[in-house]
């Protein structure tokens, strides 16, 4: 158990049998009344974000996650198969367990997997991934880097806005935190 005074961004807590990641928190001491902690929590199972207010000093259960480096091997139906890099053990994950990371997974990609009591609860891709553009409108002579953007479909199925000079077949770097184009990779 920890108190609200020990909260840190990125910490995982358990409330009512559900795991939440602390996205943001703020200690508030109003002029009247008792202090409280305003927080924004992300449900690790559904990805939903909610606001919650705790009384100062309130105790919550700390969830200890086991974080392991794994390699994405292949997709089998609705399951994703990962291999532990140290033990070579293969583990299937459901679409819910993979979550938003699905958009950035390519075969052979290394990711960080979060396990709670031996069960997978989340997959965290690298901060930047390089993906190839499968489809986008052709560039026009005179297009510049600052001249606007167009949608492009990547090999993983993700659609991002790219500068007008980027063409199909180019590899680009994408920020997995925001899902945005970073740069073209030569």
Q: What is the mean pLDDT of residues 27-51?
A: 85
32 CB burial (10 A radius; 0-12, 13-18, 19+): exposed
Whether residue 1 is predicted with pLDDT greater than 70 in this model: the reply is: yes
Whether residue 34 is predicted with pLDDT greater than 60 in this model: the reply is: yes
- Tally of CB atoms within 10 A around 33: 8
**Ordered DSSP codes for 20-89:** EEEEEEEEE--SSS--EEEEEEEETTT--EEEEEEETT-EEEEP--EEEEEEEEEEETTEEEEEETTT--
Whether residue 146 is predicted with pLDDT greater than 60 in this model: the reply is: no
Whether residue 171 is predicted with pLDDT greater than 70 in this model: the reply is: yes
Is 66-124 the same fold as 2-62? no
Q: How confident is the model at residue 141 (pLDDT cuts 50, 70, 90)?
A: low
For residue 67, list its beta bridge partners.
Answer: 114
Whether residue 44 is predicted with pLDDT greater than 60 in this model: the reply is: yes
Q: What angle do CA 103, 104, 109 make, to 5 degrees?
A: 140
Lowest mean pLDDT among 43-47, 60-64, 106-110: 43-47
Q: What is the pLDDT of residue 142?
A: 60
46 CB burial (10 A radius; 0-12, 13-18, 19+): exposed
Residue with token string 């199909």: 168
Q: What is the pLDDT of residue 113?
A: 87
User: What single-letter DSSP state applies at residue 142?
Assistant: T
Task: Report domain 128-185's class.
Answer: mainly beta
Q: How confident is the model at residue 33 (pLDDT cuts 50, 70, 90)?
A: confident
**Is the CATH number 2.30.30.30 carried by domain 2-62?**
yes
Q: How confident is the model at residue 16 (pLDDT cuts 50, 70, 90)?
A: confident
Q: What is the pLDDT of residue 31?
A: 85
- Residue ranges of domains in the chain: 2-62, 66-124, 128-185
pTM: 0.68
Please state, in angstroms and rounded to a whole number, the distance separating the CA atoms of residues 72 and 115. 15
Whether residue 143 is predicted with pLDDT greater than 70 in this model: the reply is: no
Q: What is the mean pLDDT of residues 27-35?
A: 87
Whole-number mean pLDDT of the chain?
84
| CA nearest to 18, candidates 140, 138, 116 | 116
**Is the CATH number 1.10.357.10 carried by domain 66-124?**
no
Whether residue 121 is predicted with pLDDT greater than 70 in this model: the reply is: yes
Q: Which two tokens stand for residue 8?
A: 């840190």
């Amino acid at each position: 158990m920890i108190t609200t005074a020990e909260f840190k961004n990125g910490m995982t807590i358990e409330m009512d049998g559900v795991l939440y990641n602390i996205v943001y928190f703020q200690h508030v001491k109003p002029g009247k009344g008792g202090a409280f902690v305003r927080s924004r929590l992300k449900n690790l199972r559904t990805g939903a974000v909610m606001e919650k207010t705790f009384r100062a000093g309130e105790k919550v259960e700390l969830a200890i996650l086991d974080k392991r480096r794994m390699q994405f091997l292949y997709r089998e139906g609705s399951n994703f198969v990962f291999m532990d890099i140290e033990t070579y053990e293969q583990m299937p994950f459901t679409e819910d367990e993979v979550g938003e990371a699905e958009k950035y997974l390519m075969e052979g990609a290394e990711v960080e997997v979060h396990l709670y009591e031996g069960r997978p609860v989340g997959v965290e891709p690298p901060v930047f991934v390089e993906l190839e553009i499968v489809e986008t409108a052709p560039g026009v002579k005179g297009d510049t880097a600052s001249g606007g953007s167009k949608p492009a479909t990547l090999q993983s199925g993700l659609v991002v806005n790219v500068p007008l000079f980027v063409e199909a077949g180019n590899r680009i770097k994408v920020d997995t935190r925001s899902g945005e184009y970073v740069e073209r990779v030569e």
